[in-house]
Amino acid sequence: MSQFDAGVVFGKFWPLHLGHVELLDRAASICRHLHVFVDDGPEDVAVAVRVRWVEEVCPQASVRSCPDLCGHESEYCSRNCSEAYAAFVRSQGLVPDAVISGERYGATLATCLKAASIQIDRSRTECRGREIRADITGHWALLAPPARGHYCQRVVVVGAESTGTTTLSHDLASHLGAAWVPEYGRAFTEQNGLDHTWTSADFVHIAERQTRDIEAAARGDHAIVVSDTDARATAIWHERYVGSPAPSYVVDLASAAPPSLYILTADEIPFVQDGYRDGEHIRGWMTARFREMLAAGDVPFVEVSGSRWERLRTAAAAVERHSRLVDG
């Protein structure tokens, strides 16, 4: 049985970390109705994104944004700040009987609301949000999975058949200490054979699976993910095997969480037949088509050629130039 009927939690959740998750889990366990307010201040992660983070880890709560009513870090909050937030809570038609917090302001806010103050010891992290923001990669283990997915740097290697995409993507992931996501389309082809009659539904399935694999890796233990192809590249393979543009849904999958960099493998190396390839005669066309697609997009790309190690050096330098893992 819940200890309280209605509880409130306030926070920036910038970024959402394991301490927040611990607090929310505890709050949900003691409140029949939990209301979480996400502060809409000058944060560089939109409040709508942070609301979705909280909704994901605490689906039983009612989560909404609230205005930034004091404009400073919570440790500087005064009685006036708490009075302002208490007035906001009442304006929402709420009469909470508990304020759950991991910080000192919670007791003052609870007094203003004539509610119980529940202080949660966030034992899983001693870092504050601003410390984590100052070094996202250094505090990666403290981020909650939705925040990892937001901050993770995705790098995608694309290219025609037998142009070294798998070798380069694997080499690059190893060099960077990153997660590697293999090409699901290859596994699909091996399972169904070259005689398979390709349909748009096949490519939708491949694009969805590749996207899921990339996003699952992005929420994992590594701040960088290197993928051997993605949904946008799948659209080119649709053109190759179906003979028409892919459904817009396939491209939209890649656009939802675009990589920070595409790497295109050139086709100057010898073609190697491994029993599942049939595109030697169109490698030039496909490379040109990839180049055209990437040039028309908003994501930076680099084309690599030369030996295996020359390609790796060029790709690694490009990742460094286009890293999105910056402060904040």
CATH number, domain containing residue 33: 3.40.50.620
Co-location of 175 and 286 in the same domain: yes
Mean pLDDT for the stretch of residues 60-64 = 98
Q: Before 258, cis peptide (omega within 30)?
A: no
- Total number of domains constituting the chain: 2
pTM for the whole thing?
A: 0.90
Residue 210 sits in a domain of what CATH number? 3.40.50.300
Domain assignment present for residue 299? The answer is yes
Residue 226: pLDDT band with limits 50, 70, 90: very high
Q: Note the pLDDT of residue 325.
A: 54
Among the candidates 103, 135, 167, a domain finishes at 135
The answer as to whether 81 is a domain residue is yes
* Same-domain status, 243 and 294: yes
* In a shared domain, residues 317 and 170: yes
121 and 234 assigned to the same domain: no
In a domain, 140, yes or no: no
The alpha carbon dihedral of 322, 325, 326, 328 has a sign of positive
181 and 87 co-located in one domain? no
Once rounded to an integer, what is the mean pLDDT over residues 119-143? 83
- Range of lowest pLDDT (11-25, 93-107, 185-199, 222-236): 185-199
The H-or-E segment that residue 249 falls in is: helix 248-256
Question: Quick check: 301 pLDDT over 70?
Answer: yes
What is the DSSP pairing of strand 224-228 with strand 153-158?
Answer: parallel
The dihedral through the CA atoms of 268, 272, 277, 279 has a sign that is positive
213 and 130 share one domain? no
Nearest to 43 by CA among 25, 21, 16: 16
Q: What is the pLDDT of residue 11?
A: 93
Cα–chain center distance at 286: 29
Residues 187 and 309 in one domain: yes
Among 89, 104, 135, where does a domain finish? 135
One domain, residues 163 and 111: no
Task: Give me the pLDDT at residue 328, please.
Answer: 34
Q: Does the residue 314 lie in any domain? A: yes
Q: What is the reported pLDDT for 41?
A: 83
Domain containing residue 267: 152-321
| Same-domain pairing of 111 and 174 | no
Whether residues 163 and 61 share a domain: the answer is: no
**pLDDT of amino acid 277:** 58
Could you tell me which residues come within 8 angstroms of residue 110 by beta carbon, excluding any fewer than 6 positions away? 98, 99, 116, 117
180/308 same-domain check: yes
| Residue at 142 is within a domain | no
Least confident of 18-27, 39-48, 232-241, 268-277: 268-277
Q: Is residue 326 part of a domain?
A: no
Q: Which of 135, 167, 191 is the last residue of a domain?
A: 135
Which of the two residues, 120 and 37, has the higher pLDDT score?
A: 37
pLDDT at 195: 79
Mean pLDDT of 265-280: 72
The pair of structure tokens assigned to 327 is 């402060």
CA atoms within 13 A on the CB side of 234: 33
Q: Tell me, what's the pLDDT at 327?
A: 35
Q: Are residues 26 and 71 in the same domain?
A: yes
**235 in any annotated domain:** yes
pLDDT, tens digit, 9 for 90 and up, residues 162-217: 899 999 999 999 999 999 999 999 899 889 877 789 999 999 999 999 999 999 99
Whole-number mean pLDDT of the chain? 91
Mean pLDDT across 223-249: 95
**308 occurs within a structural domain:** yes
pLDDT over threshold 90, residue 9: yes
Q: What is the pLDDT of residues 11-43, one digit of tens each?
A: 999 999 999 999 999 999 999 999 999 999 888
Classified as helix, coil or strand, 45 is coil
SS3 84: helix
Q: What is the pLDDT of residues 249-267, one digit of tens each?
A: 998 998 888 999 999 999 9
Report the pLDDT value the prediction gives residue 79, as an integer from 0 to 100: 85
